[in-house]
Structure 1
Amino acid sequence: MKKVQYQIINPVKLGGKITVPSSKSDCHRAVICAGLSHGISEIENVNFSEDIEATCEAMKNLGIDIVKLKDGLIVKGEDKLRIKNSNIHCAQSGSTLRFLIPLAATVENEVTFEGEGKLVERPLKPYYDIFNKQKIEYKNKAGRLPLTINGQLKPGEYRIEGNISSQFISGLLFALPLLDGNSKIIITTELESRPYVDMTLDALNKFSIKIENNNYKEFIIKGNQKYKSCNYKVEGDFSQAAFLLTLGILGEGTECIGLNAKSLQGDKVVLEILKSMGAQIIDEEESIKAVPSKTHGTVIDASQCPDLVPVLAALASVSEGTTKIVNAARLRIKESDRLAAISCELNKIGADVEEKEDGLIIRGKAKLRGGSVYSWNDHRIAMALAAISSKCTEPLIIKDSSCVKKSYPEFWQHFRKLGGNIDEWSVGE
C-alpha cells in the first residue's frame, strides 16, 4: 500500500534567516564534468535531492567512482566512459536523462534509460532525429521510456531548435568534445532558456573544455578535448530561494544565505521580477533579504525562467491587480502540466486564475480560503502553494507533499524553522 503524505499548514506569517540549498542545475553539471575528467575532483555544497542522487547513480553506471560525503562528493573521473550497468535509471530527473543520453552514445555498448512518473513521456524527439540521421539504433515503448540506444555519435553538424528544452543543447555540449573530430551545433530558432546554456558553458570551461559561442546561433566544438579535474563549490539555488523570498514578502521577512550575486543562473531574475511586483529586496554581500511588502500585478515573460512560474503565479494570486504570465507553453511538459496544475489548485482555494494556451492571467485577491489542494506529484507546485499559506483564512492541506524530495528535501524542515505551523500525516491509499 502506497503511503501518501499530507501537510496541514495553519496560516501564520513566517520569517527569519535560512541557508538556501545548493543549485540542482549547477550540481548536475559539476558531477558530469567531474566524472568526465581525468583525476579526482571534490565537489562541495551538494544538496542530495532525488534528482542529484539520480545523476550520481547514473554516472556510476557509466563507470565513474563517486564517494558521497556529508555535504559533498569525491569524484574519480575517467576520460573514457566504460559501462558498468547498462540500465540507467533516471528517476524523475529530466536533466539526468537528457544530459546523459548523448554521453552514453559516445561508447559502443547498448544502454537503456529508464524513468518514473512524467519523465517516461517527456519528449526526446531532437535526439531521435539525430539518431535517425546518424543511423544509431534505438527503440522505445511507443515514444516513451524505456529507451535503448546502440551506436556511437559521430562528429559533424547538429541542428537543434532553440525553443525546445535547452537540456538537449547541454547534453550535446557535454558529449561532442569527446568525439574524434570537430562538431558544430546550429540553433535554428531563437534560443530560449539561454542562461541554462550559459551555466553549461561555464561548467565546461572550469573543467578545461573550450566551446566557441557564436552569439548563441551556433556553437563550435573541437573534438578530442580532455576534461581536467578541479575542485568545485556548488552555488546556492535561486529557484529555491524564490519560495523562501515569497514567504518573507508575505510574512515577516526572510534573509537567504549562500546566494552568488554574480551567478549565471537564469532564475536569478526572480529578484528583478519580485521588485517589479513592488517587493522590497535588499542585496547584501553574503545574503539577499526580502522585506514584508505589498505586491502588485505585472507582466512576466517566462521564456528564460520557466521554473519560477508556479511560485510567481502563487504570489500574483495574492497581489493587488492583474498579472500576466506569457511565453510559458513549455511548462506543460514538466513534472506536471504546470500551467494546468497551478491554476487548478489556486482556484480551488479561492484564487482567480485563467489558464491560457501559453500562459496565465491572474487577478489578485487580498486573501484566499485555504482548504485541500494536490501537488500533482510536482515539487514546485507543492512549494508554491506552501509559500502563500499565510494568506489563507483556513488551514491549507497539501496532498502528496513528499514530492519536494525531488529538489529540496529539507523544505518542510526549513518551513518549520521559519515559523511554519504544520502537521504531517501519512495515509495509505
Structure 2
Amino acid sequence: MNFMKIYPSTLQGKINIPASKSLCHRAIIAAGLANGRSVIDNVSFSDDIIASCNGMKALGADILIEKASATINGTKFLNSVESIIDCKESGSTLRFLIPIALLTSNEITFTGKGRLGSRPLTPYYSIFNEQNIKYSSNTGLPLTIKGTLKPGEYKLPGNISSQFITGLMFALPLLEGDSKITITTALESKGYIDLTLSLLKKYSINIENRNYSEFYIKGNQSYKACDYRVEGDFSQAAFWLVGGVLGGEVQCEDINIDSLQGDKVILDIIKNMGGNIAIKKNKITAINSKTRGITIDASNCPDLVPILSVLAAVSSGTTRIINAQRLRIKESDRLKAMTMELSKLGADIAETSDGLIIHGKHNLKGGIVNSWNDHRIAMALAIASIKCTEPLILENFDVIKKSYPEFYKDFITLGGNVYEWSMG
C-alpha cells in the first residue's frame, strides 16, 4: 500500500494544463479509422489514452507514440490483428471501441480491470439482441462479441452515458446504409456529444444533430487523415482553479476559452460561488477568494463533482449538488467516496440519492483519507489539503496515472509539499 503525506500549503504560480482526455480518445480513434497518416500533437499519455492506442492497434491501426504526440497510419478497412482488447479501467475505450469492433465481423474479446467490469453496458446488449450479434458476458467483462452492425435506427437512453452515443457515431458512418440515433430520455452530458461531432467533422465525417433528440447519419462516409493538436482539459484545470481560489493565485495556461468541453462550466460555477477568475486569451487565473454555497446541477458536468465538493466544504453557507446520480457508477461511487473522505477531514457533508448537501466550514482538520482507487477522488483530496490545519495522508495516491500522471509533479511546482512512502 502506498501513502502520501501532504502538508498544508498555498498553491501559487503558472501551470500548463494537460491535454483533454476526452479529445485525445476521440482524435486517436478517428485518425485510426482514416486512410492515411495523421499526427496528433499535445497528447497526454495517461493509462486511459494508452488503452485507446492499444485498442486501435488491435483493430489494425499503426500508431507510433512519441513524447507528446502520436503518428497514426489509419486503416480504412478494419481487420483486427488481435482478438483481445484490454481496456484497463477506461470506460471511454470500452464503449467507443465496441461498435467499431463490430465493423470487422471477427470475434473480439474486451477485458478490463477495477470497476470497469461493473459499469453498465445495457444499451449495447439491447443492440446485440436486436441485430442478432453474438455476445457472451457473465456480468460485464470479459465481453466477447462477434457480428456486424447493420444500418438503421438505434434507440439509446440519454441518462446513462453519452459514451454509447459517441461509440455509435464513430462506427455508423462507415456502414453502407443510413442510420439514425434516437435519444429516448433527456440527454445529459451534451458537451461530450458536441466534442464528438466537432472532432468527427475535422476528419470529414458529418452527422446531422436534430436538437439532441435525433442524430441522422449518412452511410458510406470516409474518414480523411488530419493533423490535430489537442487542447487543454478543463476537467483537469478545475483542480488548479479551485486550488487558486482556496490558496494563492494559479494561472492555467494552454487552455481554449472557446472550447466546446462541457467542463468549461467550472468557470461559471466558481464565479457564481464568489470566486475571482480572470481570463486573458488562452490563460485563466484563479485568485484567492471567499466563496459561498450555491445549488449546482451536475447533469452535464459530473466529473467536476469531486473537486466542487471540496470547494463547497470550505465555502460559507450551504451547497447542494443535484442530478449527479451517474457518479455512483464511475471508477468509484463518487458521492459516497467524497462524503466519507471529506467527513474524515471534518467536513459537514451528506449524501442524497442523486447528489450532496454540504454545509461549509472555514477549515478542514487533516487526517488519513483513501482515494477509493479513483483518480478524481485522489486529486480532489490533494487539493483539500490546502485548507487543512494538519497534514493530510492520502492512501493509494498514485491512481492519478489513469488520467493525469504528472499531477503531483505539477502540485509540487505550484508549491505543494508532499512526502510519499509505501508499506508492504
TM-score normalised by L of structure 2: 0.99
What are the within-5 Å matches in structure 2 for residues 159-178 of structure 1? 159-178=155-174
Match of 1:15 in 2: 12
Structure 1 counterpart of 2:90, which letter?
S
Match of 1:58 among 55, 58, 65: 55
Shift of 1:286: 2.1
Unmatched 5+ stretches in structure 2: none
Q: Distance in 2 between matches of 1:308 and 1:152?
A: 37
Match of 1:387 in 2: 383
Alignment gaps of 5+ in structure 1: none
1:241-290: CA deviation from partner (whole Å, max 9, x where unpaired): 00011111111110000100110000000000000110000011120000
Give, as a single letter, the amino acid of the residue that structure 2 aligns with 1:327: N
User: Which whole-Å CA distance do the structure 2 matches of 1:81 and 1:155 have between them?
Assistant: 17
2:175, 2:333 → 1: CA distance? 36
**What are the superposed Cα offsets for residues 339-370 of structure 1, whole Å, 9 maximum, x if unpaired?**
00011100011001010010000000001110
Listed as ranges, the matches of 1:199-214 within 5 Å are: 199-214=195-210
RMSD, matched Cα: 0.6
CA distance in 1, matches of 2:140, 2:167: 19
- Offset at residue 10 of structure 1 (A): 0.7
> Structure 1: how far apart are the matches of 2:86 and 2:261?
27
- In the other structure, the counterpart of 1:272 is 268
Map residues 59-98 of structure 1 onto 2, 5 A cutoff. 59-98=56-95
**Aligned position for 2:185:** 189
2:253 corresponds to 1:257: yes
2:372 corresponds to: 376
Question: Could you report, residue by residue, the CA deviation over 1:13-38 in whole angstroms, capped at 9, with x for unpaired residues?
Answer: 11110000100001000000000001
SS for the counterpart of 1:228 is coil
Q: 1:142-168 CA deviation, whole Å, 9 max, x = no partner?
A: x22000001011000000111110000
| Structure 1 residue 150 corresponds to structure 2 residue 146 | yes
Structure 1: which amino acid aligns with 2:155? R
Correspondence list, 1:22-421, <5 A: 22-141=19-138, 143-421=139-417
C-alpha displacement of 1:7:
1.1
String of CA shifts for 1:283-320, please: whole Å, max 9, x gaps: 11120000110111001000000000000001100111
Runs of 4 or more consecutive aligned structure 1 residues displaced over 4 Å after TM superposition: none
User: d(CA) in 2 for partners of 1:422 and 1:286?
Assistant: 29
Instruction: State the Cα deviation string for residues 159-202 of structure 1 (Å, max 9, x = none).
Output: 01111100000000000001111100001111100010000000
SS at match of 1:357: coil
> How far apart, CA to CA, are the structure 2 residues paired with 1:426 and 1:418?
24
1:74, CA displacement in angstroms? Answer: 0.2
SS in 1 for 2:405: coil
Shift of residue 235, structure 1, vs aligned partner? 0.7
Amino acid at match of 2:188: E
Tell me the SS of whatever aligns to 2:141: strand
Structure 1 residue 5: deviation in Å? Answer: 2.1
Residue identity opposite 1:55 in structure 2: S
Q: d(CA) in 2 for partners of 1:426 and 1:417?
A: 23
Alignment deviations for residues 205-242 of structure 1 (CA, whole Å, 9 cap, x no partner): 00000101111110110111100001000010000000
Structure 1 CA distance for aligned equivalents of residues 242 and 423 of structure 2: 29
Distance in 2 separating the partners of 1:83 and 1:230 = 23
Q: What letter matches 1:146 in structure 2?
A: P
Hey, what's the Cα distance between the residues in 2 that align with 1:118 and 1:149? 20
Q: In structure 2, how many angstroms separate the alpha carbons of the residues matched to 1:20 and 1:302?
A: 22
1:423 equivalent to 2:419? Answer yes
Question: Please, what TM-score do these two structures have when normalized by structure 1?
Answer: 0.98
Residue 389 of structure 1 aligns with an amino acid whose one-letter code is S
Identity of aligned residues (%): 60
Mapped to 2, the partners of 1:221 and 1:391 lie a distance apart of 50
Contact 1:246 1:388 in 2 (8 A): no
Tell me which amino acid in the other structure corresponds to 2:183: I
How far apart in 1 are the matches of 2:55 and 2:282? 34
1:356-385 CA distance string (max 9 Å, x none): 010000000001110000000000001011
